[in-house]
A and B are shown apart, each in its own frame.
Chain A
Amino acid sequence: MSAYWIAFNTILVKEIRRFLRIWQQTLLPPAITMTLYFIIFGNLIGERIGEMAGLDYMSFIVPGLIMMSVINNAYSNVSSSFFSNKFQRSVEELLVAPVPNWVILWGFVFGGVARGIMTGLIVTLVAVFFTDIQVHNIWVLISTVLLSSILFSLGGFINALYANKFDDVSIIPTFVLTPLSYLGGVFFSISLLPDFWKDVSAFNPILYMVNAFRYGMLGVSDVSLVSCYAILVSIILILTAYSLWLLKRGKGIRH
């Protein structure tokens, strides 16, 4: 078996073991938060809203809420874990070992993917208690979750490389991810927006992820599927190249 594959597996297993060890902080909160979203937005407010894009409101928001969990947890897992490795200097275990930068990167990224998928499944399970879960296209569902969690895991990795203190890894989720998620079509169809704001929304990558996932579940989307995949893949390629460049320079991890 290739040494690189073993090293990749080692990093991945360590990352999964980490978030399972602290499941009360990593897996439980999304279940509780999303339950509250389903009750308040789905049931209480949703009954007054009625339909959105031809669907009952609860069915409309389920895909967006699942994706929001996937995105936030994939990002947070990598940003907090890698920064914690930096802070405790345990990242040096990897730097002295014969592990190439791309293995380090993908080990942590897929740790984020694992947590993103796991929380997505947990939120889906919670959603079962509120509405019927539909599957319009399973391959779109799987590919969207995978690509979205990879993208945001890469974002979390870059955040962690630049971060110098713990506050630095909570700024992006609080001031960037949350607003983009809320404005990314999770709770409303962008067809409701005036044209100007509709055009502005086109620059929000989360819009494409939410809509692709909504298409996979319900067969409806505000944007074309081709655009969704093009944007996801392009951003992943850019972030991958940038991450590897930062690692080669030793940004945040080496002198």
Chain B
Amino acid sequence: MNLENYQGPALSIRGLEKVYDNGFRALNGIDLTVQQGDFFALLGPNGAGKSTTLGIVSGLVNKSAGTVEVYGQNTEADWFHSKRLLGVVPQEFNFNQFEKVGDIVVTQAGYYGLTAAQAKPRAEKYLKALDLWEKRDVQSRMLSGGMKRRLMIARALVHEPKLLILDEPTAGVDIELRLSMWEYLKKLNEQEGTTIILTTHYLEEAESLCRNIAIINKGNIVKQTSKRDLLSELRVQTFVVELIEAKPERPLIADHRCQWVDDQTFEVDVEQGKGINELFDAFDKLGLNVAGIRPKSNRLETLFVDLVRNG
């Protein structure tokens, strides 16, 4: 399989349907395209169809209809080649609790046709990169939650896939580990060229990491676009302003919706297309000394909630 001349998308989904045995229709013929080298987020509320979509791509769920291609390889007709290109990091821990960390990664490499001589150096490389090398002889059940998450990433990378899928990779993870995982994934995408698709409930994570986004709701793709274009749909952005000194009179800002949280903090809306410079003019006129200003909430979160509620 020679991909050097392949110019197409990393993932192409056409007309994907899934109806479970109990009659529940999880996917209604969705189309999705992820380009090579992209860092892509698939967002959606619980039960939207994210895990079903990823499950079908990775071979854990049988599809009812449609086609899926990974780097141009059909996941049914060319299942061998398509699976070799794919690495999967599931949401739930799914390794043998009694196997050692090193054995888990080397065994996974064996499933992809890597001999022990090939697998062991790779296992060392990824366990070191994810700070697990010292734990290689420890049974996986003895690892902390964060280490288990990193183990799943190491396991998914050992055969050096071109497309990495992560299902809520930082769920339940502390901030420090989340940031280090973000750094690692960014490096993987930017330096190694690995295409990454992740699902997440942390919209801040999607906004920080991803360049393109699709939103799925009730088995339908309601939006697929670049993050930039999606955010440009925001008509209003809310900022939280903190003052150096309290202002008990709580003045209002002309031409802007304004709401005071307390005597020293208020929220103000700025419409799409308007800069925030005029806000500072207004602050000067009102004698407000600003200590700090920040966006009220994740911008993507606002859009997401709107799209899902109206979808």
A1 in the interface (beta carbon within 8 A): yes
Binding site secondary structure of chain B = loop
With beta carbons under 8 angstroms apart, the residue of A13, A85, A94, A98 that contacts B79 is A98
A48 CB–B CB distance under 8 Å: no
How many angstroms from the CA of A160 to the CA of B122 in the assembled complex? Answer: 33
Establish whether residues B60 and A88, one from each chain, have CB atoms under 8 Å apart when the complex forms. no
The contact size tier of chain A is 20 to 34
Task: Decide: A14 and B107 in contact? CB cutoff 8 A.
Answer: yes
What chain B residues lie within 8 Å of A3 (beta carbons)?
A: 80, 112-113
Look across to chain A and name the residue whose beta carbon is closest to the beta carbon of B114.
A6
Docked Cα-Cα span, A10 to B55, in Å, equals: 24
Q: Is A92 an interface residue (CB 8 A)?
A: yes
CB within 8 Å of A: which of B8-29? 20-21
Q: Which residues of A contact B103 (CB under 8 A)?
A: 14, 17
Interface of A is mostly: helix
Quick check: B107 and A255 within 8 Å, CB to CB?
Answer: no
Chain B contact patch, size range: 35 or more
Contact with B along A84-116 (1 / 0, CB 8 A): 110011101111111110000000000000000
Tell whether B94 is near chain A: CB-to-CB under 8 Å.
Answer: yes
In the bound complex, do residue A254 and residue B61 qualify as a contact, i.e. CB atoms below 8 Å apart?
Answer: yes
- Assess A254 versus B108: contact at CB under 8 Å? Given A6-B114, A88-B94, A90-B96: no
Interface residue ranges of B54-100 to A (CB < 8 Å)? 55, 58-62, 79-81, 83-84, 86, 88, 90, 92-99
Residues of B within 8 A of A21 (CB): 98
Which residues of A line the B interface, CB within 8 A?
1-4, 6-7, 9-11, 13-14, 17-18, 21, 84-85, 88-90, 92-100, 250, 254-255
With A92-B60, A94-B111, A255-B62 already in contact, 4 other A-B pairs whose C-beta atoms are closer than 8 Å: A7-B112, A14-B107, A250-B62, A255-B52
10 A-B pairs closest in CB distance: A3-B113, A10-B110, A97-B111, A89-B94, A98-B83, A98-B80, A255-B61, A90-B96, A96-B88, A96-B58
